Amino acid sequence: MKTLLLPILFLGATLGLRAEDGHRLWLRPHATTPVTVVAPTTSSALLATAKRELQQGWQGSAGTTVTLTLKKDKAIKYDGFRLNAQGVQASTERGILYGVFELLRRQQTGQAPAAGLSNPSYEHRLLNHWDNPDGSVERGYAGPSIFWRKDSALVVTSRDKTLWQEYARANASIGINGSVLNNVNASPLILSAEYLGRVKAIADVLRPYGVKAYLSVKFSSPVLLGGLKTADPLDPAVIKWWRGKAKEIYQQVPDFGGFLVKASSEGQPGPQDYGRTHADGANMLADVLKPHGGLVMWRAFVYSPSDKDRAKQAYNEFVPLDGKFRDNVIIQVKNGPVDFQPREPFSPLFGALKKTAVMPEFQITQEYLGHAIDLAYLAPLWEECLQSDTYQAGPGSTVARCTDGSVYRQAHSAMAGVSNVGLDTNWTGHDFAQANWYAFGRLAWNSNIKSAQIAEEWLKQTFQNAAGTNQPATSAADWNAKFLTPVTQLMLASREAIVDYSMPLGLHHIMSATHGHYGPGPWWAPPGMRADWTPPYYHQAATNGVGFGRTKTGSDAVSQYHEPLASQFNNPATCPDAYLLWFHHLPWDFKMKSGRTLWDELALHYDHGVQQVRQFQRTWDQAQPYVDAERFGVMQNKLRTQSGNAVVWKDACLLYFQQFSRMPIPAAVEPPMHTLEALIANDTPPRPPRQP
């Protein structure tokens, strides 16, 4: 027995086989063939990475020669590349690396090695980590930080380095070229000499994969860390402090990317504390970073409880400042005007800022879409936002085109995603949440790729030929029909299912805060709590109807959109159902386009969401023969939990709203199995045990 087992184990080790625990992401090993790589003779670490990746991943004809050519070419933008019969051509070393990964991706997903040009939509494609120096991760559902930890924070271990390298490689494979290493709710500690030492260590590991390090900074750092009396951006001593800090950073990290700033937002300090504007604050930091080539990403996520409609505030704050920012400032805008909800219309700031660079911020971590429990493939949400037409410069002024430099001249373009990465073995806490990391990178590279294509690519790389399946597919066609097609459909339907069972028809922000925004809380309004942090502020349910009135006779948020949208959103007859209760407060018996009452329609959406999750369970069960036992079982359990929680959402919202509608739940809807009293008492179901 022993003698038989050993060679098998050995073979497995040389092929790099390990359990399908998800740690390899979409970069699982494959049988490879030898390849000859001709590359410029430089000592570049990036080119060495490109060469190594080719040699370790080549699946084309054995003995092929692939040439990597570094050559200026006007048609190649940023880190773009050209694939041709010889190999990869690019103007930057990063471009070469991305071209190599594209070649390998095509081989792994069975696509012909197409010749042609590939340019990134955005110059900077960044992950934002909401990681704290103590190792915790704000809104993280995949374990502690991969960058920071509580104990011996400054000791860099070989395990740290291995992990950072794996992380950097995954990013490079999808074109991500920057990482903000710490939380936007930034600790001043991050700028201390000790922590900057660790930043340097991280940056050194990320660099050979083309990933630049950035930091979130706390605006009051000159006071908290530097001991100054003020952080006023116009104060010479403050400017001097930041200059010195920038110099110190660039000494450690010569290619440091720049600062991300959350200021005068949710209690964070900012220029407004000193009677200055966002432009004053951003420009001061921009001037400090300019000589080093750094950028300032200044967030537009600002709102205060004193103003009437939270959805309007960022626009009101930033539009008057248009044109007042330095050219190395980019305003970072969340996709929706409120806060990463399962569905929001696009933020009206997109396209409205015409003389200022604007970048979209998406949330990869599933704060409002089921944490690492529910299956939510987010590419359709991001695609919906990017392809929304703002009309700001005529039809076709999509959010994507208003931010990538096609519509307005802007010195820099970028896209950010709030990362879902943590120390969990599978990085993201949920095997399918990896698809969101992957999809973010692919969309930042090409904002026109369809969600379906991304899902298929990811599924092929992540699940094909899984080790340990009990009945491997008999052929590629069989695998496509029995696994790829149904599971792609499942992924594509998953976000809408969550919208349906949690916040359909434009409802938003009605989650409970008791369990970190997981589960329903339409009633959630503890005494003394800021109104704009409670669900009743957003749903406005009363006997006369439901929804937030943002029409011209309401808060007039509609007027922040360019025509024809303003009129379209303003009229309930033309407002898309998906945004109806976002813009309108309507009576429960309002007649919908379907002919049904609003109440019936709402109930049917909730029920549909529940039915959808049950369908996902069946689809997954049928996929069992094609999935390794490990990932199959974990996912099956998670879907079961999600299914139960979907019912909780449906019952909670229908029973709560029914107190006001006083209308019967339609016969076609599954009757509630919970009581409102019990749901309120529990608030949300207990969190299931963490993934083993």
By CB under 6 A, name the binding residues for ligand BDP: 138-139, 184-185, 262, 266, 301, 339-340, 367
d(CA 409, CA 2): 68
Please say whether the beta carbons of 176 and 183 come within 8 A.
Answer: no
- Would you state the structure tokens that stand for residue 433, as one six-digit string? 């949440």
* Buried b or exposed e, range 420-433, using 16+ CB within 10 angstroms: bbbbbebbbbbbbb
- The SS3 call for residue 557 is helix
d(CA 117, CA 173): 17
Min separation Cβ 136 and ligand BDP, Å: 12
Q: Are strands 329-334 and 87-90 parallel, antiparallel or unpaired?
A: unpaired
Catalytic entry in 194, 248, 255, 266: 266
Residues 6+ apart with CB under 8 A from 293: none
Nearer to ligand BDP, 301 or 606 (CB): 301
Nearer to ligand BDP, 108 or 182 (CB): 182
Nearer to ligand BDP, 87 or 360 (CB): 360
Q: Does 339 participate in catalysis according to the annotation? A: yes
User: Given the structure tokens 């970048």, which residue do they identify?
Assistant: 359
Nearer to ligand BDP, 184 or 238 (CB): 184
Please say whether the beta carbons of 78 and 119 come within 8 A.
Answer: yes
- The SS3 call for residue 662 is coil
Min separation Cβ 373 and ligand BDP, Å: 17
d(CA 388, CA 398): 5
- The SS3 call for residue 332 is strand
- Would you state the structure tokens that stand for residue 47, as one six-digit string? 């080119």
Give residue number: closest CB to ligand BDP.
339
If residue 166 lies in a helix (H) or strand (E), which one and from where to where? Answer: helix 158-173
Min separation Cβ 266 and ligand BDP, Å: 6
Residues 6+ apart with CB under 8 A from 620: 487, 490, 632, 635, 636, 639
The residue type of 77 is K
Q: Does 628 participate in catalysis according to the annotation? A: no
Complete DSSP assignment for 285-323: HHHHHGGGT-EEEEE-----TTSS-HHHHHHHHHGGGTT
Nearer to ligand BDP, 365 or 388 (CB): 365
> How is the beta sheet containing 64-70 ordered, strand by strand?
35-38, 64-70, 87-90, 81-83, 116-118
Min separation Cβ 8 and ligand BDP, Å: 48
Nearer to ligand BDP, 266 or 621 (CB): 266
Total residues belonging to the chain: 692
Min separation Cβ 185 and ligand BDP, Å: 5
DSSP H helical ranges for 373-484: 379-386, 399-403, 434-445, 451-463, 476-479
Q: What are phi and psi of 586, to 5 degrees?
A: -125, 150
Min separation Cβ 137 and ligand BDP, Å: 10
d(CA 312, CA 141): 30
Nearer to ligand BDP, 120 or 519 (CB): 519
Nearer to ligand BDP, 367 or 651 (CB): 367
Please name which of 610, 586, 608, 597 lies closest in space to residue 664, comparing C-alpha atoms. Answer: 597
Please name which of 10, 61, 18, 64 lies closest in space to residue 37, comparing C-alpha atoms. Answer: 64
Min separation Cβ 138 and ligand BDP, Å: 5
Complete DSSP assignment for 523-552: T---TT--GGGSHHHHH--BTTBBS---ST
Catalytic entry in 309, 367, 374, 607: 367
Nearer to ligand BDP, 143 or 175 (CB): 143
Catalytic entry in 20, 53, 166, 339: 339
Min separation Cβ 538 and ligand BDP, Å: 14
Min separation Cβ 257 and ligand BDP, Å: 19
Nearer to ligand BDP, 46 or 511 (CB): 511
Q: Does 456 participate in catalysis according to the annotation? A: no
Min separation Cβ 299 and ligand BDP, Å: 7
DSSP H helical ranges for 480-585: 485-502, 535-539, 565-570, 580-583
User: Given the structure tokens 């800021």, which residue do they identify?
Assistant: 530
d(CA 95, CA 73): 12
Catalytic residues: 266, 339, 367
